[in-house]
Each structure stands twice: as C-alpha cells, then as structure tokens.
C-alpha cells in the first residue's frame, strides 16, 4: 500500500496502526521511511496522541504534530517529522486502524492530500480486514480453541517440515 501511496501522497514516513479491541489500543504493524524504527515500536491507547484521537473520533487529522504519538507512547525521542496526515481505516462501520503519512515540512498536507488518502483508506480497509481475517483463521486452524496449544494439524505440518529438513541435511 505504501509504495502505491507514495505516487499519490508524498511522504517522508508512512505507518499503519491496527486496533486491538481487547486492550483498546493501536499498535504499529508497519512503518517505512524516516524514523520508521521508532514508529514501528509504538503502541498508543485509544484517545491518546494523533492515532488515538483518530481512533476515538473516526475523522482524519491534517498537519498534526507527529511527536504527539511518540509522547503518547512514551518514546521521548526528537524527530525531524513536522506534519502528519492521519486517516481512519473503517470497514463495514467497524474501526480497523489508521493509515498515517508524515512529512518533514511543517503544514505540508493540503485538503487534496486528505481527500486522496481518504479514498485510499476506503479501499485499503477492505484489504487489511481480509488480510487480518485470513491470518486469524490460519492461526485458529492450527491451535486448540480450549488450550491455545498447537493441534494435530500443526504437529503433522511441523513433522513433515522437520523430516524434509532432516533428509536435506542427512
């Protein structure tokens, strides 16, 4: 998504935060660009920072201060990022997360950028929802629902891989 998005909305960094209903927080699942190593480690509670505000209000933020998310997550590190455009990812009236683009120039983003990112988020929300649903279904098929331990299907898959590995390595 970020590689295609770069052609539409210029950015110095881009991140994807996914919402976890269990603890009412958003965790960065992908980050690229400037300070991506710091952004990748962020977890923000709903209502806190830029990402948390967008999660709570389901409305985009334009030219917000990127360091607000760093502060909300407890990461006290200076950043060269000066403006952020944060849009909610909503699929079938259900909040999934946020897509954020950052820039090193203050007040860089315009209303046209917001409209473009809104359209991208509409499409991306469906893709991300299906992807997370597939991940969860795959995980559920390999674990026992009562104990959460690996099940027989997992054991046979693992055994097959290990036997093939043993054959390769003699």
Strand 25-33 and strand 43-45: pairing? antiparallel
From the list 144, 39, 126, 123, the residue with the least C-alpha distance to 84 is 39
Q: What angle do CA 126, 28, 119 make, to 5 degrees?
A: 35
Q: What are the pLDDT digits (tens) for 35-53?
A: 999 999 999 999 999 999 9
CA 65/CA 80 separation, integer angstroms:
11
User: How high does pLDDT run on average in the chain?
Assistant: 92
Using one digit for the tens of pLDDT, what is the confidence trace for 68-89?
A: 988 888 887 888 999 999 999 9
* Chain-centroid distance, C-alpha 106: 24
Q: Report the pLDDT value the prediction gives residue 14, as an integer from 0 to 100.
A: 95
Tens of pLDDT, residue by residue over 114-133, are 999 999 999 999 999 999 89
Q: What is the pLDDT of residue 90?
A: 95
Q: Are strands 43-45 and 83-91 parallel, antiparallel or unpaired?
A: unpaired
Report pLDDT digits (tens) over 88-110: 999 999 999 999 999 999 999 99
Torsion of CA 59, 62, 65, 69, to 10 degrees: 30
Report helix, strand or coil for 76: coil
The two three-digit tokens of residue 119, written as one number:
């359209």
* pLDDT score recorded for residue 85: 96
């Amino acid at each position: 998504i970020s590689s295609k998005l770069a052609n539409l909305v210029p950015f110095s960094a881009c991140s994807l935060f996914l919402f976890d209903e269990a603890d009412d927080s958003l965790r960065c699942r992908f980050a690229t660009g400037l300070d991506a190593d710091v952004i990748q480690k962020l977890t923000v509670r709903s209502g806190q920072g830029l990402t948390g505000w967008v999660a709570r209000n389901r409305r985009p933020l334009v030219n917000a201060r990127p360091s607000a998310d760093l502060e909300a997550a407890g990461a006290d590190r200076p950043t060269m990022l000066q403006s952020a455009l944060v849009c909610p990812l909503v699929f079938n009236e259900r909040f999934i997360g946020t897509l954020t683009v950052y820039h090193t120039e203050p007040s860089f983003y315009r209303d046209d950028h917001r409209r473009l990112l809104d359209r991208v988020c509409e499409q991306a929300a469906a893709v991300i929802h299906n992807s997370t649903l597939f991940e969860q279904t795959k995980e559920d098929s390999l674990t026992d629902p009562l104990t959460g331990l690996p099940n027989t299907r997992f054991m046979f898959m693992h055994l097959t891989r290990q036997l093939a590995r043993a054959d390769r390595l003699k």
